Amino acid sequence: MTESAPEWFQISELATSQVMSRIAAAVSANEMCLQVKSAPMLAHWFVLDTLLLANQANKDGMHSNALALTRQCVEAIGVIELGICGHPDAEAALLKWEADTLNPGKLRAWLQANVWPQYGSGLWTEPWFTFMREFAGAVQPYAHYGRNLAQWQLRLHRLHEPNKPDGDIHAIIEMAPRAYDAQKATRITLFHALLTYALGRIWMAAHRDDPEFAALITKMGIALGKSRYLDGHQTNWSQQFWAMVWERGGGTILE
């Protein structure tokens, strides 16, 4: 971490261990039946291991691999949430998930109907269900290897928009194995911070007796919401997850 690191990154560095330790304790302490008691814990282990692998891939310039891994965490978070939300019907929902009759979309619909209304707003003023719907929808295209994911393998060096009526855009793009792109690496780190923030909010909703932690997560959300990679509550989330993002004039590094 350096002094030039954006605020959301600095807070995320501080908050991640606190979030994960609280989630670990909560998923281990659930009192569900033996058939599904371990499912939230396994989902949390999956998130921890997946983020570890994604972080290493991201540092090594394998940004498309890191993003594909990151996408898997969104579905695992729903299983964690069923285990710790405290809703009286959460165990029944988790049994349906274990029986493979509650797919990720139906699981999110159950959470939206039964749990999320108590969470308040997302990053800005939008309802929590809107935040989670948009976030999940934005990473959905990276479930499979296609054009969108392949673009994360490219390094964008420069982009120039000539002041001409035809509006042509000229870009210098590097194609190479593990082509490290600082902007892509930063944005994937931001996506990981959003996952941590979501887990923090999930824990907060079930534990109202930790004001110091709540203040930290609230501060983290405010900092994430100020990132120039996210343009407020009117954000087109799918656009924010495009591989190529730049400012007018060709700038590629934001915060």
| Residue pLDDT, tens place only, 207-226 | 989 999 999 999 999 999 88
Residue 250 has pLDDT above 50, yes or no: no
Q: What is the reported pLDDT for 231?
A: 64
For residues 158 and 11, what is the distance between their CA atoms, to the nearest angstrom? Answer: 30
Domain boundaries, the chain: 7-240
| Residue pLDDT, tens place only, 159-193 | 655 565 555 665 666 666 778 988 889 889 999 99
C-alpha distance from residue 102 to each of 41, 74, 106, 174 (Å):
18, 15, 6, 42
| Residue pLDDT, tens place only, 49-105 | 999 999 999 999 999 999 999 988 988 999 999 999 999 999 999 999 999 999 988
| Residue pLDDT, tens place only, 13-64 | 999 999 999 999 999 999 899 999 999 999 999 999 999 999 999 999 999 9
For residues 64 and 71, what is the distance between their CA atoms, to the nearest angstrom? Answer: 11
Lowest mean pLDDT among 46-50, 148-152, 235-239: 235-239
Please report, as a single letter, which amino acid is at residue 29: A
Q: What is the reported pLDDT for 1?
A: 43
